Chains A and B, each alone.
Chain A
Amino acid sequence: MAEGVLEIDDSIFDAEVLKSNKPVLIDFWAPWCGPCRAISPLVEELAGEFGDKIKFVKCNVDDNPITPGKYGIRSIPTLMFFKDGNVVNQVIGIVARSKLEEVINKIL
């Protein structure tokens, strides 16, 4: 498991994401998704940098169909940002680090 990025499953989504007292960035991914593999080191880097202010988690959509279904995920990688249990932003596909930093700074 990646350092600083917590792997979550459907059963702990509510506790770890919706009830988190910090904003949450959740990375929806799957092993078969090439771009997901490409973006995961970037998410880990950001976790190293912003980990004290934001909780970084990842969710394997293959093993956990309920959560992506609930949020209408039809494309991965999708990075979804939660604050106080609500979706405040999302980024679909591979994007530059600068774009993710921009979104992060907006929600902080």
Chain B
Amino acid sequence: MKSVDYDLVIIGGGPAGLTAGLYAARARLNVILIEKIVPGGQVLTSDWIENYPGFPEGISGPDLIQKMTEQVKKFDLNIESNEVISLDLSDPVKKIKLSDRTITSHTIIIATGASPRKLGIPGEDIFFGKGLSTCATCDGPFFKDKIVAAVGGGDTAVQESIFLTKFVKKVYLIHRRDQLRATKILQERAFANDKIEFVWDSVLTSIDGLTNVEKITVKNVKTGDTKELSVDGCFIWTGILPNTEFLKDELKVDDYGFIIVDSNMQSSVPGVFAAGDVRSTGLRQIVTAAGDAASAVFSAEHYIENIK
């Protein structure tokens, strides 16, 4: 057999990638983790995590990532800061093209996560960073005693809206349905919070202002009526898109581009696995990302044993 650089290449350093790294390093696989920016992913923007077991008081996103990173370093996981440009999966030995070289591996775990989805409405690109945000922990304190809008109805939208009320005078929580999708305990807290005003059955149609966000337009999807709301900031949490720009059509994906895997986390190509938010799934949590990753490494180990 010709020499292959790695048993396993993990792409992405969020909770899924770091957990995969932990399991792979402990399994003594010849493994490398490639992270494009810095380890952490979307968790870095999470102010407080109450549903990851083992932290009864809760833990901040950055602190949890710091602990996960410390843990993988303890087992000498090789982490490289680099970018995956493309994959060549035509042979059993997979080629991973990085920004400066190409590496080969028997298996790959894709754990590249997802990014906030854009709405594609007027003003969205212009006002990003000028009152428009997707990160309450980064930008919430800039809106002390101001009025802001938040868009979405899932866990992130509701939890971060509650967080924003620590600073702002008022949050309009705009949701396209007449009820929230967020987990019940978050709903209870939001309904009990008198700084949150719900704008039901409505979608955001534009963001306006001179240099910074000054007002937004919302449309009621049942009546068709539109109205303007004066706000100083607008936070959008209406879902995510998979980070798969390095893929063309090598792998089967769902209608939204998330990678389809079987119960062993294997994609449509043998030896290529996906874990965490990037895979097609009904629930995206830190705990499910970690679980996916453990399964993916277990499957990768079996795959490697069978070919060697």
> Which residue of A30, A32, A73, A94 is within 8 Å of B38 (Cβ)?
A94
In the complex where A34-B61, A74-B129, A94-B44 touch, is A41 in contact with B137 (Cβ < 8 A)?
no
B130 A72 Cβ-Cβ under 8 A? yes
B36 A76 Cβ-Cβ under 8 A? no
A42 B233 Cβ-Cβ under 8 A? no
Binds B, one of A9-17, A19-27, A81-89, A95-103: A95-103
A-B contact count (CB 8 A): 75
A39 B142 Cβ-Cβ under 8 A? no
Interface size on A, residues (CB 8 A): 26
A96 B36 Cβ-Cβ under 8 A? yes
Residues in A neighbouring B81, C-beta threshold 8 A: 97
* Per-position binary interface string of chain B over residues 151-193, scored 1 when its CB falls under 8 Å from any chain A CB and 0 otherwise: 0000000000000000000000000000000000000000000
Chain B residues 79-113 with CB under 8 Å of chain A are: 81, 83, 99
B304 at the interface (CB under 8 A from A): no
Q: How far is the CA of A32 from the CA of B65 in the complex (A)?
A: 15
Q: Using CB atoms, name the residue of chain A closest to B40.
A: A38
B83 A33 Cβ-Cβ under 8 A? no
A72 B137 Cβ-Cβ under 8 A? no
In the complex where A39-B38, A72-B211, A95-B37 touch, is A33 in contact with B137 (Cβ < 8 A)?
yes
Q: How far is the CA of A19 from the CA of B119 in the complex (A)?
A: 41
Residues in A neighbouring B212, C-beta threshold 8 A: 72, 74
Q: How far is the CA of A98 from the CA of B100 in the complex (A)?
A: 11
Q: Using CB atoms, name the residue of chain A closest to B143.
A: A74
B44 A96 Cβ-Cβ under 8 A? no
Q: How far is the CA of A33 from the CA of B137 in the complex (A)?
A: 6
B12 to chain A, nearest CB (A): 13
B75 at the interface (CB under 8 A from A): no
Q: Using CB atoms, name the residue of chain B closest to A36.
A: B138
Residues in B neighbouring A30, C-beta threshold 8 A: 141
* Per-position binary interface string of chain B over residues 2-37, scored 1 when its CB falls under 8 Å from any chain A CB and 0 otherwise: 000000000000000000000000000000000011
A34 B131 Cβ-Cβ under 8 A? no
B61 A98 Cβ-Cβ under 8 A? no
B60 A78 Cβ-Cβ under 8 A? no
- Provide 11 A-B residue pairs closer than 8 Å at the C-beta atoms, listed in order of the A residue: A37-B62, A38-B38, A39-B37, A72-B211, A74-B133, A74-B139, A75-B133, A75-B142, A92-B129, A93-B129, A98-B99
B residues with a Cβ closer than 8 A to A are 36-40, 44-47, 60-62, 65, 81, 83, 99, 128-131, 133, 135, 137-139, 141-142, 211-212, 233
